[in-house]
Amino acid sequence: MQATDNTDVSSGVTWSSKTAFILAAIGSAVGLGNLWRFPYVAGENGGGAFVIFYLICVILIGLPVLAAELFIGRRGGKSAVGSVVTIAKAEGRSSIWAAQSWIGMFGSFVILTFYSVIAGWVLSFAVTMTGSLFSSIGENGMGALTGGAFAGETKDQVNAHFTDLLANPTRMIIFHAIFMIVTVGIVAQGLKGGIEKTVTILMPAFFVMLIVLLGFSLVQGDRAQGFNFLLGVRVDALLEGVKDGSVVNAALGQAFFSIGLGSALMSTYGAYMSKTTDIPSSTRLIGLADTGVGIVAGLALFPIVFSAGLAPGDGPTLMFLTLPLAFQTMPFGAVFGIIFFILAFFAAITSSIALLESSTKWVDEQSSGNNRFMAALILGIIVFIIGIANALSQVPTTLADGTPNDIFWNTWQPLGSFPLFEGLTLLDFLSKTTDLILPIAGFITAIFAGWIVSTATSREELGFKSEAWYQRWRFLIRWVCPVGIGAVIAYSFIYPLIKTIIKLLGS
């Protein structure tokens, strides 16, 4: 009897093709962060010199761990947790090693609670910018298509679109709800009917729009300054960062987080891989595409920013304040501004379905694979409810007219008494927390794949074409990856914690 779409790979459900799997995996890794975080981090840490350093980290740490997560998922053929338990038992090891997947799955779930809020901001901006363009067409005719975004508005009025959004909890929650409804609807349809169908449409569209945006940037933007910021070799910034450890930490951290390692996403998608899909080549394609998107995004965005005489910002500042102002000053800026936010929305969707799928697959697995719809719905509702609190935590404590606007959520700082979390409201606190727990999951993954899984099992599942390449992978996963990921954890969290404790003891 033919397997249904809701069962795991052991029952025969796999990606329709290697292309479908690659698009889904790339979609899970390429998210909103790729559109601003990688380009900005590279530009601030030595430009082209940092990019080279980053690529080394991807090759030595990112790709080996990615290959490990994929082979764990395919070998186990279940959810991220179920796959580790299955492999551990087969190796005569304790199922406690599933802690790596529990941590990763929890981290993915938490990420989705605030990621969906930010994605809602993106969707809101796409709607606002589209409405502004149609209004301009109504007043000025089709010639408005050649003009900039938010035609006729002042700089303060353009900036107010974001500040007004944050001050409007109802609008934030509505767009957060829309985004989650779309995400839940896709995941509830299963692998082939939902996830695969979505990524095979959205990811090609994403790449086309990114290239179109790049072409627009090269023609209309300040290419020289944009390229120099991202790819110009600034050795002084690199050496200074290497000296104090910040560049090493930034490169390792970016290599780790950009590909989505430690979050149970890749092992979950790996469970749907057919035995004929080559893991090493798939790993290289995913890593190359993820890195390429970050570089192309930078080459597309920064010339636009610099042509408007603006400085590149970080995170929401770049996406929701700097870029709208830049698109306002450029010919055809209204059209290409809308394209950018639609592109960002597609990136958010392909990542969010992977984030929800990791926990949905586990819950569905507990009920013998017959309740995917209810699993996705219930988990989506929980994400939505927590997301409401995350949205409210971003509401300004003071309105534009100076009126106090304390609503508990925007003043509550979980663990704010600890220096590491000082000043962080709920959304920022959860973001910081996942920055900590995902590397821990990745660290355990490296240990499990390198030291707990037998050589025979990993060699067979990875299927390297030569023993020499397998031995290189094994050396990296056993020694280089744990040390590299451990360095990120130590520098970002353990070292600051020790400094705080010493300071407290000294006082």
pTM of the model as a whole: 0.94
> Which pLDDT tens digit goes with each residue over 410-456?
999 998 888 888 899 999 999 989 988 999 999 999 999 999 999 99
Sign of CA dihedral 128, 132, 138, 142: negative
The two three-digit tokens of residue 475, written as one number? 């050396």
Q: How many whole angstroms from its chain centre is CA 39?
A: 14
> Rounded to the nearest 5 degrees, what angle is found at the Cα of 41, between the Cα atoms of 36 and 44?
120
Domain ranges across the chain: 9-396+406-506
Q: Counting Cβ atoms within 10 Å, is residue 310 exposed (0-12), middle (13-18) or buried (19+)?
A: middle
At residue 393, does pLDDT exceed 50? yes
Q: How confident is the model at residue 487 (pLDDT cuts 50, 70, 90)?
A: confident
- In SS3 terms, 440-501 reads as HHHHHHHHHHHHHCCHHHHHHHHCCCCHHHHHHHHHHHHHHHHHHHHHHHHHHHHHHHHHHH
Q: So what's the pLDDT on residue 184? A: 98
Q: Sorting pLDDT into bands at 50, 70 and 90, what band is 244?
A: low
pLDDT score of 431: 92
Q: What mean pLDDT value characterizes the chain?
A: 91
pLDDT of residue 37: 81
Residues 6+ apart with CB under 8 A from 403: none
**More confident of the two residues 197 and 255:** 197
- For residues 202 and 208, what is the distance between their CA atoms, to the nearest angstrom? 10
Angle at which helices 223-231 and 279-307 pack, to 10 degrees?
A: 130
- Six-digit token string for 212: 């179109």
Kindly give, in sequence order, each residue whose CB lies less than 8 Å from that of residue 96, ignoring residues fewer than 6 positions away: none
Task: Check: CB of residue 70 under 8 Å from CB of residue 277.
Answer: no
- Helix %, strand %, coil % for the chain, to 5? 80, 0, 20
| 446 Cα distance to chain centroid | 21
Average pLDDT over residues 81-103: 97
Residue 233: φ, ψ to 5°? -85, 105
pLDDT in tens, 293-334: 999 999 999 999 999 999 888 778 899 999 999 999 999 999
| Predicted pLDDT at 302 | 93
For residue 463, CA distances in Å to 39, 94, 444, 470, 495 come to: 34, 26, 23, 8, 39
Q: First and final CA of the chain: distance in angstroms?
A: 71
DSSP states of 227-290 as a string?
A: HHHHHSB-HHHHHHHHHHTHHHHHHHHHHHHHTTTTSSHHHHHHTT--TTS-HHHHHHHHHHHH
Token representation of residue 215: 């072409």
pLDDT at position 10, please?
46
Neighbours of 34 (CB within 10 A): 24
| pLDDT score for 79 | 96
* Residue tagged 């947790």 (tokens): 81
Distance (Å, whole) CA 248 – CA 250: 5
Residue 334: what pLDDT? 96
Task: Give me the CATH topology for the region 9-396+406-506.
Answer: Amino acid/polyamine transporter I (1.20.1740)
